[in-house]
């Protein structure tokens, strides 16, 4: 099958999932065409079944902001037409599903048609979707898609509650590559970070306010008073400067390291003892899943889809948003040597349920269903 994948090419969860999905589909023999404004971060190897098509955005004095949506739609038309794609899979309702609708209308005038699958990842519904000016566009774009998926049951329900959606929404969870994310022998690295045998806590995100990184730091400060510990903060973004200042104000800056964006996440997770994710909103929690695959228990908030991933009292614990006291109490319980190994093993067992090969097969089945439904009333149509 020839599939076009449209995504953001960044470290964010949607871009990571879209890229890893495309890579896995290519390994299974599908021809994958990535369409975006820059090469995806995780697209770091050559494959005979992978193509990358860059969206070129022209700059004119007339435009205050470059018209990316139009340029993207034009590139979709070009790739669908000349690469003879069977399906477009767009990640994020805005602007990708909107641009896909425009591309479909242009293609229809040229005697071509193609089904579009839209995957909702969270922010496009929970944050962007709250903008009244964008709500009609998001609603329209989802309803005009030929197939719609969401990365958790919680996100599916929130979409139904927030928008007038007439399309069924299939839940297909995010996944983890267990051949990449596993506990590696990196004890020399652990000794470098924790020279005196301290426990290692980790958080990874894009450092937006919704991630509540201040809670991560305050939880760590309290844990550190009881258990000698170090904290690694992976990622970068608008909150980093404020968070660096907070560690200094709390007098813990010597035990906290900001290491910026990191591609080899599995190396750090391999030596971690606990992963903290106190987000205000999290549609799934991909970073937490990758941690669990490396045998790292998770302390998270109970928001969004996190409770569908992190099983309370089994793979870690869930706490109310902003409940630092509860997070500290539960983190200390997990870090107790009598409990830690059990939580680590159960975290791995849970992660195996989200193995990439299992989830990718679910996408293949869904593609088949969408294409068959799309082709049902057409006299000429390519099928999987």
User: Could you read off the pLDDT of 157-195 as tens digits, one per residue?
Assistant: 999 988 889 999 999 999 999 999 998 887 788 888 999
Contacts of 357 (CB under 8 A, 6+ apart): 24
Mean pLDDT of 262-283: 93
- Please report the pLDDT score of residue 62 as a whole number: 64
Strand order in the sheet with 229-234: 256-260, 229-234, 199-204, 274-277, 298-301, 316-319
- What pLDDT is attached to residue 135? 85
**103 Cβ contact partners less than 8 Å away, ≥ 6 residues apart:** 73, 74, 76, 77, 80, 88
Label residue 384 by pLDDT band (50, 70, 90).
very low
DSSP states of 238-276: TTHHHHHHHHHHTT-GGGEEEEE--S-HHHHHTT-SEEE
Q: Which residues pair with 276 in a beta bridge?
A: 299
Average pLDDT rounded to a whole number, residues 84-108: 93
pLDDT at 225: 96
pLDDT more than 70, % of the chain: 93
Ramachandran sector of residue 235 (left: φ over 0; alpha: ψ -120 to 50; beta: rest): left
Residue 10 has pLDDT above 80, yes or no: no
Q: Decide: 113 and 107 in contact? Cβ < 8 Å.
A: yes
- Find the domain containing 94 and state its range: 2-175+356-375
* Pair (26, 72) in one structural domain: yes
Domain assignment present for residue 342? The answer is yes
Region 105-117: what's the mean pLDDT?
A: 94
**Would you say residue 39 lies in a domain?**
yes
Contact yes or no for 21/360 (Cβ under 8 A): yes
Query: Is residue 140 domain-shared with residue 223, that is, in the same domain?
Result: no
Q: What is the pLDDT of residues 296-316, one digit of tens each?
A: 999 999 999 999 999 999 999
pLDDT band at residue 132 using 50, 70 and 90 as cut-offs? confident
Compute the mean pLDDT over every residue in the chain, rounded to the nearest whole number. 91
Q: Is residue 360 part of a domain?
A: yes
User: Do 56 and 114 lie in a common domain?
Assistant: yes
CATH of the domain at 254: 3.40.50.2000
Q: How far apart are CA 157 and CA 4, in angstroms?
A: 27
Q: Are residues 342 and 361 in the same domain?
A: no
Helix (H) or strand (E) holding 224: helix 213-226
**Average pLDDT in the 318-344 region?**
98
Does residue 381 belong to any structural domain of this protein?
no
- How far apart CA 126 and CA 20 sit, in angstroms, is 24
Residues 125 and 244 reside in one and the same domain: no
Please tell me the predicted confidence (pLDDT) of residue 249.
Answer: 97
Q: Does pLDDT of 65 surpass 80?
A: no
* 284 pLDDT more than 70: yes
Label residue 289 by pLDDT band (50, 70, 90): very high
Examine residue 261 and state whether it is found in any structural domain, yes or no.
yes
For the chain, what is the domain count?
A: 2
**What is the reported pLDDT for 124?**
65
């Amino acid at each position: 099958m020839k599939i076009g994948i449209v995504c953001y090419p960044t470290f964010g969860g949607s871009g990571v999932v879209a890229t890893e999905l495309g890579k896995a589909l290519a390994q299974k023999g599908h021809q994958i065409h990535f369409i975006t404004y820059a090469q995806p971060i995780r697209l770091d190897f050559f494959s005979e079944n992978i193509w990358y098509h860059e969206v070129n955005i022209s700059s004119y004095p007339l435009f205050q902001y470059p018209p990316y949506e139009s340029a993207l739609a034009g590139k979709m038309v070009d790739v669908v037409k000349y690469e003879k794609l069977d399906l477009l899979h767009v990640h994020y309702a805005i602007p990708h599903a909107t641009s896909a609708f425009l591309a479909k209308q242009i293609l229809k005038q040229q005697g071509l048609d193609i089904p579009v699958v839209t995957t909702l990842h969270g922010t496009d519904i929970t944050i962007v979707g709250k903008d009244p000016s964008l709500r009609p566009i998001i609603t329209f774009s989802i309803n005009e898609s030929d197939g719609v998926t969401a990365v958790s049951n919680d996100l599916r329900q929130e979409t139904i509650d927030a928008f007038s959606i007439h399309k069924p929404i299939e839940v297909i969870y995010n996944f983890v590559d267990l051949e990449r994310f596993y506990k590696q022998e990196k004890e020399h690295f652990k000794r470098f970070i924790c020279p005196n045998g301290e426990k290692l806590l980790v958080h990874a995100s894009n450092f937006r306010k919704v991630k509540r990184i201040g809670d991560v730091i305050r939880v760590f400060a309290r844990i550190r008073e009881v258990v000698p510990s170090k904290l690694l903060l992976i990622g970068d973004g608008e909150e980093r400067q404020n968070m660096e200042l907070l560690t200094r104000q709390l007098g813990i800056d010597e035990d906290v390291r900001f290491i910026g964006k990191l591609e080899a996440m599995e190396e750090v997770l391999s030596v971690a003892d606990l992963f903290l994710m106190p987000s205000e909103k999290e549609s799934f929690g991909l970073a937490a899943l990758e941690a669990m695959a490396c045998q790292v228990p998770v302390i998270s908030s109970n928001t969004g889809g996190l409770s569908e991933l992190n099983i309370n009292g089994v793979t870690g614990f869930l706490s109310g948003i902003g409940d630092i006291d509860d997070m500290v109490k539960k983190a200390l319980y997990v870090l107790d040597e009598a409990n830690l190994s059990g939580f680590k093993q159960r975290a791995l067992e849970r992660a195996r349920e989200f193995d990439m090969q299992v989830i990718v097969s679910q996408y293949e089945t869904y593609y088949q269903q969408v294409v068959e439904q799309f082709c049902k009333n057409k006299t000429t149509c390519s099928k999987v």
